[in-house]
Chains A and B, each alone.
Chain A
Amino acid sequence: MIKLIIDKKTVEVEKGTTILQAAKNIGIHIPTLCYMNLGDLNIENKPGGCRVCVVEVDGRRNLAPACATDCAEGMVVHTHSIRVLNARKTVVQLILSDHPFDCLICAKSGNCELQDLAHKLGIREIPYQGEQSTYREDTSPAIIRDVDKCIMCRRCEVMCNEVQTVGVLSAINRGFQSVVAPAFEMNLDHSVCTYCGQCVNVCPTGALTEVDHTNQLINDLADPGKTVIVQTAPAVRAALGEEFGMEPGTLVTGKMAAALRELGFDYVFDTDFAADLTIMEEGTELLDRLSKHLNGDTNVHLPILTSCCPAWVKFFEHQFPEMKDIPSTARSPQQMFGAIAKTYFADKINVDRKKLVVVSIMPCVAKKYECSRDEFKVDGNPDVDYSISTRELANLIKQANIDFLGLEDADFDNPMGESTGASVIFGTTGGVIEAAVRTAYEVHTQKELPKVDFEELRGMEGIRSATIDFDGLPISIGIAHGLGNARKLLEDIKAGKSQYHAIEIMACPGGCIGGGGQPYIHGDTSILKARQKAIYQEDAQKTIRKSHENKYVQKLYEEFLGKPMSEKAHHLLHTHYFDRKKEVFID
């Protein structure tokens, strides 16, 4: 152990602890900018580049960056001497001298760490006049890169390269010219980007943001010629409240439904309904492949991989196209919802699909891209017209002057608002496969599950595995969240080393609760755990907790689809994948 003094307080820490951490241990929060530590996920970025965290160490000539300086025995540290405060100010002023003054109209305003610092440090003038770098804006179906606002903290690089192992973003050029960009400075939509949005989540400024669809939504809601319906993903209800000052982990399902109705949607539905439908299709596919496999059919491949995460889908299309026949062909809940809404439901209410606007509220930015994919359109008309993130919804509720906290709980509409506990847990890592197991077990064994909860599938570990006893038949299950972890499982499959029958993969750390469209957590990963807890809590509260027991899903099959994997179901609820290895183009 090492003893040192920070701001006149004695503190004892282990060798290798940084000054930043040691200070935090005794409640002193040194401001940082480039530094990022997502504790529970084991993700750290400390390039020591921005110098916002400088402190004075007795006996040292230069100020030291607290995030990148280890404590030493007997050190005497001052975190707010005049010298430190002046230096910090200067550092921020220098950053601002090459930063556009867009705060009032910036998408990150109110959530920007640079703005926050300028505010906290009381910056009132910028005495340095420098050349302002200008780069073109890069707009893709899901993410906007406005590199003028990049401060080169390189957090996004860590996310994209080390955590997600996608490798789209890298620092390029040197000195004043340096920015973070895709290879050859091509646009994101020409790159291998998965649109997971994890870079957006960690970018401290407005350099990376999601494509905003709220204005389009406002216009559609105001159009009397259109019927506008909405679906909300499971993870949204576990996080939306944070935007209104509620404790992380507060469920706001009822308030959310009420707010959506106030906003003027004609029908307020639930993606959870479609998640139950997904389980019917995916679970049936799993059992089908499994029984063929057990009967010695060498044409079927196992493990079956889940396919409800569009970032994950784009990832394997680019990186492992040779394995594109292993993932389930089931569409994601968002897309199943859209396909049913624009056929079954449109017929029911007698509205032409072109006059029916299907909006989704998602914790995700990749969903914006997913609904724009051509295979999810009929004659150019998309099944899901566009997708709004949790953050955008919160903003819209504020714009509309709705007193969110004061709203009475409301229910979803029917027929596409009914859901089970199984569908709620789609929002967290491990949830999709648990939901699938609940249904597949009962269908396969024809017996009722003795216990609905599968604790062994839950948790936050990046890669997990468990064996579930299907009444004598051991089913081996793998779970990965974060694309870097997914890559490890895929490499194993490729090498023929995988023993799993089924694997669930989610692109975002934590699953959709940690999605790229969720309220910013600013490095506090305990928020993800709180959201996860909320999800399991909602599941436990439900009377019906298995997808195949959803009455409205059963009715949908009776009235319209026939049975799971029927021809109609195939047409509307399944999809196919593309080899995108060669689609990245240079020029």
Chain B
Amino acid sequence: MSSIKVKLKEKDIAKIQEICKSFDNKPGDLINVLHKVQGEFGYLPAEVQEVVAENLNVSLAKIYGVVTFYSFFTMIPKGKHPVSICTGTACYVRGAEKVLEEFKKELGIKVGESTPDGKFSLTCLRCVGACGLAPVVQVGEKTYGRIAPDDVKNILAEYEDN
């Protein structure tokens, strides 16, 4: 049997320990701890969950259970260019779903995943308050409005080189 691949740096482990400690290592605060830790690392890879498990004295299976239960936790790192598609009512009515399908097809990933090269990740958002521009897509900080499935290729092309 191989052993755990410890990719975490000492200082990352120390950071997680610090967060756990700020909640007195209380198992009851698991969700809050995971929230904070995710805020720090952007996602919750297996190795990070291991450290939390050890510090809070909660089984790894329980932690994984919580991480997979709540949709705001993710085990996948955000891509360099996170793509978010608004699926609020207005966007939905105006065809956001088709746009989403197109992104999935073009990137070859599902919602909540990242491309293997780490360049793009895909998430859905609730209303971003730009209903006038529906359907709305965000890539990183940039917002695109009135998007049709045909526009998807062009948007992605903008990020081709970096």
Contacts and interface: CB of A to CB of B under 8 A. Distances in A.
Interface of A: 161, 166-174, 178, 181-185, 190-191, 582-587
B111 to A, nearest CB: 14
Contact of B65 (A171, A585, A587): A171
30 contacts: A161-B59, A161-B61, A167-B59, A167-B60, A167-B61, A168-B59, A168-B61, A169-B61, A170-B59, A170-B61, A170-B65, A172-B68, A172-B69, A173-B68, A174-B69, A178-B69, A182-B61, A183-B46, A183-B60, A183-B63, A183-B64, A184-B60, A184-B64, A185-B64, A191-B61, A583-B1, A583-B3, A585-B2, A585-B5, A587-B5
Interface string B51-63: 0000000111111
A23 B4 CA distance: 52
Contacts of A173: 68-69
A584 B61 CA distance: 12
A169 B65 CA distance: 9
Nearest to A191: B61
Contact of A172 (B3, B5, B59, B64): B64
Contacts of A184: 46, 60, 64
Nearest to B58: A167
B29 interface: no
Interface of B: 1-5, 46-47, 49-50, 58-65, 68-69
A161 B61 CA distance: 10
Contacts, number: 61
Nearest to B70: A174
A7 to B, nearest CB: 39
A170 B64 contact: yes
A440 B49 CA distance: 47
B65 A586 contact: no
A30 to B, nearest CB: 30
Contacts of A183: 46, 49, 59-61, 63-64
Contacts of B47: 586
B113 to A, nearest CB: 15
Contact of B4 (A161, A167, A584): A584
B69 A586 contact: no
A183 B61 CA distance: 4
Nearest to A177: B68
B61 A586 contact: no
Nearest to B75: A184
B15 to A, nearest CB: 20
Contacts of B58: 167
A190 B61 CA distance: 13
Contacts of A587: 5
A171 B68 CA distance: 9
A180 to B, nearest CB: 9
Contact of A582 (B3, B61, B64, B69): B3
B119 to A, nearest CB: 23
B5 A586 contact: yes
A585 B1 contact: yes
- Closest 8 pairs between A and B when the two form their complex, measured CB to CB: A167-B59, A170-B61, A170-B65, A183-B60, A586-B46, A183-B64, A183-B61, A582-B3
A584 B47 CA distance: 12
Contacts of A191: 61
A184 B5 CA distance: 14
Contacts of A171: 65, 69
Contact of B62 (A170, A178, A586): A170
Nearest to A185: B64
A181 B60 CA distance: 11
A181 B4 contact: no
Given A161-B59, A167-B62, A182-B61, A582 B4 contact: yes
A584 B59 CA distance: 13
A168 B60 CA distance: 8
A572 to B, nearest CB: 26
Contacts of B46: 183-184, 586
A190 B65 contact: no
A585 B50 CA distance: 11
Contacts of A584: 4, 60
Contacts of B1: 190, 583, 585
Contacts of B68: 172-174
A170 B69 CA distance: 11
B63 A586 contact: no
